[in-house]
Amino acid sequence: MFAEKYLQALNTSDLRDDELHRQTEALAAAALADLSGGSGQVFGSLLARAKYADGICHKTFEAGNHNLAVLLSAWTKVVTQKGLDRQWLKIKHPWDVQAAHSMYAKIARVSLAHWLEGACETCNGTKIAHGRACTHCSGTGLEPIQGGAVERQKIADMISELEGLYQSHGARAGAKLRQAA
């Protein structure tokens, strides 16, 4: 329910705040949810904008991938910190630092791309291809994650983190929206 109101507010041309027009409430709730998230970053709103709103811009000058670029930059920092904290790679030599940062950047890029649009390319997320269960995605509707076993596990873990961030932001924003009503 909150996501629908938020997307409607993002795409409206009328931001009056009166009895008939209440578009600003969803925007304020999203901002307050970001502030109360504890991470100090505007993650939830960026996730919602990148996943659901960037393709629905009404004016040509509003179109573009600015939200996605900002989100990828912030997400890469988060993944890098998680990689360092969880010691995904043991840094023993100076060249290990560059390899680690390359791996963190790749995991961030692939996990964000998969979270944003991870539908199976063969069945388009329907789980059915050529009249039977899709063999490419094994009937999950999601594109299989490519890479080695360790890399796939880390990417899947980061996809789960993204979904958790998005869901917790939506819950906080929905609570703020209910308080405003």
pLDDT tens digits, residue range 144-157?
998 889 899 999 99
Q: For residue 48, what are its two tokens?
A: 């919602």
- Kindly tell me the sign of the dihedral angle through the C-alpha atoms of 62, 162, 25, 38: negative
Q: Is the pLDDT of residue 62 over 50?
A: no
User: Tens digits of per-residue pLDDT, 100-141?
Assistant: 999 999 999 999 999 988 889 899 889 998 889 999 999 889
104 CB-side CA count, 13 A: 23
Question: Average pLDDT for residues 3-13, to the nearest whole number?
Answer: 73
Of 118, 117, 112, 138, give the one whose Cα is nearest residue 127. Answer: 138
Q: What is the pLDDT of residue 109?
A: 94
- pLDDT tens digits for range 88-111: 988 888 888 889 999 999 999 999
What residues make up the domain containing 174? 2-180
Instruction: List pLDDT tens digits, range 69-80.
Output: 888 998 999 999
Asked whether 113 and 121 are in contact (CB, 8 A), the reply is no
Domain count, the chain: 1
